[in-house]
Amino acid sequence: MSAVSSKVRRTGAVLTVFLKEVRENLRDRRTLMSAFLTGPLLGPLLFVMLVSVQVNRELDKADQPLHVPVIGAQYAPHLVDALKEGGIVPDAPVADPGTAVHKQDADVVLRIAADYGKAWRKGEPVQVEMFYDSSRQDTRSAVERVGKLVETYARQQGAMRLVARGLSPGTAWPVQVAKRDQATPQSRAVLMFAMLPYFFVITLFMGGMYLAIDLTAGERERQSLEPLFANPVARWKILVGKLAAICVFSLTSLAITLLAFAVVGRFIPAEKLGMELDLGWHFAGYVLLLMLPLVMLLAALQTLVAAFAKSYREAQTYISLLMMVPLIPSALLAFLPIKAQAWMYAVPLLGQNLGIMQQLRGDGVSGEQLLLCLAGTLAAALVAAAVTAQLYRSEKLAISG
């Protein structure tokens, strides 16, 4: 009987703290805006809108005539005609092609040498210079379009020269590469949505951030933490109640985000680029499962960091620095592509990134990989919670100033 009563008291203490913190923070406009509106709803809408605008811009550039300044067009009329057939509109020459590209007055500039005609008649190689700026992502499609047209024209003319000399055009190309692209329409979508895992992690982070700050540093600054600790309740029970409240806010924030992506993701014109994107309920459920232990880990880390701060503002500074940590795995996979090893799934954040990316590609995750991801992150969450619980035992935590 006493064991049952003890269990009831333990459950009641945790539940009381949990309900208290949730109820109080539901009245906090800043917490509600961060957890349920700004990031979860506006974030996906803005993300999808930017992607859709980029896709439509790329499609418009591919379909519309491309204006390209051509220097020395009179020296290669046949080449200029071939460019016109490919949708290129030769514009008036510019005095300095390098400066025109640098100042973004033109995406691409072609310059044909004055001795083009003389070298052409002799059957000698001729040179066409193409000026562009590879650091400008918005001009990549224009550069590729012009480059392919010039290369196609060069191949055609080279083949005609060989035929005129009684040779097979294949003589100039003894080795031909047959490209076999193994990418699926779904896997190609990964190129566009490589930062999506980071977006989900940040949603979790922001969903519980203000709550974690208020429940520790905020209460410490308001001097309401000391009366709470004065109750005849074990400190770890108070901590569990606070962590549960943070986890609920974070999970709700993530759920709203996944719901928003499931709805607005249908409006992304990915199929126009030969891509297939599935952000529906199956994807949402999978992401939610992967993120469950990460919710606990982030809540414990945020509470731990906030416990070291003496004021609300100081805790904001510390946790803002902590926000940079989730960026590391996404940046690592984006700029240093690596082949996933089994042990990587056990690394918190990295495992979630790998799992979400594989789901986007349509490859799926094996049971072993899923188990490693959940177990590794859960173990880290328990360690972080244990360290935070040890800090909660300190009497200095309740003292402000």
Q: Which H or E run contains 370?
A: helix 367-392
**Looking at residue 32, what is its pLDDT?**
66
CB of 210 closer than 8 Å to CB of 302: no
Q: Which H or E run contains 110?
A: strand 109-112
Helical H segments across 179-264, by residue range: 196-213, 219-221, 225-229, 235-264
CB of 277 closer than 8 Å to CB of 189: yes
What is the per-residue burial (b if ≥16 Cβ within 10 Å, else e) of 171-183?
Answer: eeeeeeeeeeeee
**Looking at residue 70, what is its pLDDT?**
92
Tokens 């605008």 appear where?
Answer: 53
Q: d(Cα 238, Cα 212) in Å, to the nearest integer?
A: 13
Q: How many CA atoms lie within 13 A of 372 on its CB side?
A: 17
Cβ neighbors of 328 (< 8 A, separation 6 or more) are 349
The amino acid present at 280, given as its one-letter code, is G
User: What count of residues does the chain have?
Assistant: 401
For the entire predicted model, the pTM comes to 0.69
Q: What is the DSSP letter of 93?
A: P
Residue in 308, 303, 325, 304 with CA at minimum distance from that of residue 247? 303
Residue in 359, 339, 377 with CA at minimum distance from that of residue 196? 359
Question: pLDDT means per 10 residues in the chain (401 residues)?
Answer: 40 70 69 67 74 66 78 89 88 90 89 86 83 82 86 84 74 67 57 75 85 82 74 80 89 88 74 68 87 92 86 82 78 70 88 85 81 94 92 73 54
